[in-house]
Amino acid sequence: MARKRPSIGDDLFRPTGRGDEPQDEPQERPAEASTEDPAADVPADGYTRPISVGLKDGELRELDTIAETEGVARNAIMRYAIRYFIAMHQAGQVQLPVQEETTKRVAMPRGGNRK
């Protein structure tokens, strides 16, 4: 007997929007979120946007160790860490060691005067 193949819905090619439109309904916080966890207060609405982050080899090793120890995906650890940082920053509990630097650049000529 042949196995029934899953069908693709009619809405496969429907427009999904650009992501900056307001959400129809606010997303609810999962029931397991703890009110004692500061990261739980950071909004997690909207689309998940893939981004690139540059990490040093040692940072990546530590991140992977945590993910393997906890049995979760690396991106879940990264998202939680970022949400935790945002909550701590909003609460005024993080002081970033920002320093101002001055750099010099060569002013490159603009082309266009060819004859």
In a domain, residue 71? The reply is yes
Domain-embedded: residue 74: yes
Is position 26 within any domain? no
CA atoms of 102 and 107, how far apart (whole Å) = 16
Q: How many CA atoms lie within 13 A of 57 on its CB side?
A: 0
What is the pLDDT, as a whole number, of residue 8? 62
Report DSSP state, residue 39.
Answer: G
- Provide the residue range defining the domain that includes 66: 57-92
Which one-letter amino acid corresponds to residue 67?
A
Instruction: For residue 98, tell me if it sits in a domain.
Output: no
Q: What is the DSSP letter of 4?
A: P
Provide, rounded to the nearest whole percent, the portion of the chain with pLDDT above 90: 44
- Residue 37 is assigned to a structural domain of this protein: no
Query: Does residue 62 sit within a domain?
Result: yes
The arithmetic mean of pLDDT across residues 6-14, rounded, is 62
Looking at residue 31, what is its pLDDT? 46
Model pLDDT for residues 25-36, shown as the tens digit of each residue: 544 444 454 558
Q: What does the alpha-carbon distance between residue 83 and residue 75 come to, in Å, rounded to a whole number?
A: 12
In a domain, 111, yes or no: no
The answer to whether residue 88 is domain-embedded is: yes
CA distance 114 to 107: 19
In sequence order, the 6+-apart residues with CB closer than 8 A to the CB of 109 are none
- Please give the tally of structural domains in the chain: 1
Q: How many CA atoms lie within 13 A of 62 on its CB side?
A: 7
Residue type at 46?
G
